[in-house]
Amino acid sequence: MAEAPWPITFDDVLAARERLRPHLQPTALRHYAALDQRVGGSIRVFVKHENHNPTGAFKARNGLAAVSALTPEERGRGVVAASAGNHGLGLAHAGRIFGVRVVVCVPTTANPEKVEAIRGLGADVVEHGQDYGDAVERAAKLAGEQGLTLVHSTECRAVLAGAGTITLEMLEQQPGLEAIVVSLGGGSQAVGAMTVVRGLGRSIPVYAVQAQGASVIHDSFRARRPLTAAAASVSTIADGLATRETYPLTFGALLDGLADFLVVSEAEIAEAVRILIATTHNLVEPSGAVPRDCCFIGRAPLDQGDTNRKRRPLSSRARIDISLGMIYRWTVELPDFEDDPELANDQILSSIYQEWFEEVNSV
């Protein structure tokens, strides 16, 4: 494959951060001893709480970065996007702040809670198709018909720059981070992370993780070329990662810069959600739990070296970051609890896990 130019500059990320600053607080980067214990190997894990953003995911950054970069004329006409939920929420949130009309195309399979939340933020919702790819086609059509600016969740430089602000914050909060692990849907978060690492002159490896049921970008990374035709459909509980193609803006950068790329099974994702509930007391959506999963099950970046040229073993004081998303208003039937608060806590966790497990098994 011909080498593509790097999609964004470090200055793009710095500029996005300035545009976001009045509208978004930095999120916490927390360390949980209990999570370290589960991960093992004396690894210190830091969790970047992107689930504490106003829309529950880092996509709040992407939406704000995109809308704040529009010209006054573009703002007047409005924007359209396709989304499984989080990108649409981020854009709707930004549209509300900047007074810009937002149309979000969602697949009919989208999480209804997220769709409702997008509407609640004042965006128009168009339900179309079976998956994210179908919704993208509809969004592109609407852009042409209505003169709206298409804000793709990956194929948009301002979006990538917005995602880069996560890593900028993380490295200010913990300059000694030795590895960054991100879940990957289209690659905004991964490319943003690599841009910042490079821009700061650091050599911190960035690892990406995808769900087995939607692994076309991982598979293409391994094949060193886009394998779009291989993914006629996708199936995963990590709805934010359910993409079925590679994207020209990010794929070359992923090939060039990722330390490694892993896939995790649905059961592993569910297990990661449970562990994050238990150790961080955060309800984490599957898309956000994916990276932690690869730490916990002891797969790379902790061990299992393969032929990838950029992989390097981590020292015992290595620190790894993951970013989280959040489950929306997920309702769980709770049983009657013991008086003992410790026991009650355990019961709550296990009943949440039970519900979750049933959901996973029904996929």
Ligand X SMILES: Cc1ncc(COP(=O)(O)O)c(C=O)c1O
Phi and psi at 101, nearest 5°, equal -65, 135
Decide if residue 184 touches ligand X (CB under 6 A).
yes
Cβ atoms 101, 95 nearer than 8 A: yes
Closer by beta carbon to ligand X, 249 or else 339: 249
Decide if residue 63 touches ligand X (CB under 6 A).
no
323: left (phi over 0), alpha (psi -120 to 50) or beta: beta
Decide if residue 53 touches ligand X (CB under 6 A).
no
CB of 211 to ligand X, least distance (A): 10
Query: Rounded to whole angstroms, how far apart are CA atoms 351 and 336?
Result: 11
Query: Rounded to whole angstroms, how far apart are CA atoms 246 and 67?
Result: 24
The number of residues that bind ligand X (CB under 6 A) is 21
Q: Which two tokens stand for residue 315?
A: 């020292």
Query: Rounded to whole angstroms, how far apart are CA atoms 311 and 305?
Result: 7
CB of 19 to ligand X, least distance (A): 18
Q: Which of 186, 252, 257, 301 binds ligand X (CB under 6 A)?
A: 186
Query: Rounded to whole angstroms, how far apart are CA atoms 125 and 105?
Result: 6
Q: Which of 19, 44, 48, 59 binds ligand X (CB under 6 A)?
A: 59
CA 114 to chain centre: 15
Query: Rounded to whole angstroms, how far apart are CA atoms 34 and 274?
Result: 13
Query: Rounded to whole angstroms, how far apart are CA atoms 277 and 323?
Result: 14
DSSP string, 242-292: ---S--HHHHHHHHHH-SEEEEE-HHHHHHHHHHHHHHH---B-HHHHHHH
Stretch that binds ligand X, among 12-20, 68-76, 177-185, 269-277 (CB under 6 A): 177-185
Decide if residue 121 touches ligand X (CB under 6 A).
no
Closer by beta carbon to ligand X, 95 or else 291: 291
Stretch that binds ligand X, among 120-128, 169-177, 281-289, 342-350 (CB under 6 A): 281-289
Q: Which of 163, 196, 263, 300 binds ligand X (CB under 6 A)?
A: 163
CB of 76 to ligand X, least distance (A): 28
Q: Which of 53, 68, 86, 279 binds ligand X (CB under 6 A)?
A: 86
Q: Which of 121, 241, 283, 294 binds ligand X (CB under 6 A)?
A: 241
Q: Which of 68, 149, 165, 287 binds ligand X (CB under 6 A)?
A: 287
Q: Which of 78, 199, 205, 325 binds ligand X (CB under 6 A)?
A: 325
Q: Which of 199, 205, 288, 301 binds ligand X (CB under 6 A)?
A: 288
CB of 326 to ligand X, least distance (A): 8
Decide if residue 185 touches ligand X (CB under 6 A).
yes
Stretch that binds ligand X, among 29-37, 38-46, 113-121, 284-292 (CB under 6 A): 284-292
Decide if residue 87 touches ligand X (CB under 6 A).
yes
Cβ atoms 101, 201 nearer than 8 A: no
CB of 186 to ligand X, least distance (A): 4
- Tokens 């991100």, residue? 182
CA 313, 294, 211, 202 torsion-angle sign: negative
Query: Rounded to whole angstroms, how far apart are CA atoms 96 and 118?
Result: 11
Query: Rounded to whole angstroms, how far apart are CA atoms 138 and 82?
Result: 8
Phi and psi at 266, nearest 5°, equal -60, -40
Decide if residue 180 touches ligand X (CB under 6 A).
no
Stretch that binds ligand X, among 180-188, 310-318, 334-342, 353-361 (CB under 6 A): 180-188
Q: Which of 57, 194, 264, 283 binds ligand X (CB under 6 A)?
A: 57
232 three-state secondary structure: coil
Closer by beta carbon to ligand X, 346 or else 359: 359
Q: Which two tokens stand for residue 203?
A: 């050599």
- Write out the residues near ligand X by the rule CB under 6 A: 57, 59, 86-87, 153-154, 163, 183-190, 240-241, 285, 287-288, 325
